[in-house]
Amino acid sequence: MERIEEKIAHLTRAVDDLSDIVAAQSAEIDRLNARVALLMRREAERQADAGGGVVLGDERPPHY
């Protein structure tokens, strides 16, 4: 019985540790998503200020 209790204690600690790691990763993902959104807004503003030309992915570069 003691061995089972030890195993349960170790498993409980492992679950708690993993839960903390997942929570930290979730917080970091949220921070990174906010940064990406900020960068996307800044780039959109920069492109709008630069004349608003739309660059299509299938356009040939000017040096062709």
- Express each pLDDT in 11-34 by its tens digit: 999 999 999 999 999 999 999 999
In a domain, 18, yes or no: yes
In a domain, 61, yes or no: no
What is the predicted pLDDT for the residue at 49?
86
In a domain, 63, yes or no: no
53: pLDDT strictly greater than 60: no
The three-state DSSP-derived secondary structure of the chain is CHHHHHHHHHHHHHHHHHHHHHHHHHHHHHHHHHHHHHHHHHHHHHHHHCCCCCCCCCCCCCCC
In a domain, 40, yes or no: yes
In a domain, 3, yes or no: yes
61: pLDDT strictly greater than 80: no
In a domain, 49, yes or no: yes
56: pLDDT strictly greater than 70: no
In a domain, 43, yes or no: yes
Residue 25 lies in domain? 1-53
Residue 39 CA to residue 15 CA, distance in Å, equals 36
51: pLDDT strictly greater than 90: no
pTM given for the model:
0.63
Which residues have CB under 8 Å from 25's CB, separation 6+? Answer: none
What is the number of domains present in the chain? 1
In a domain, 64, yes or no: no
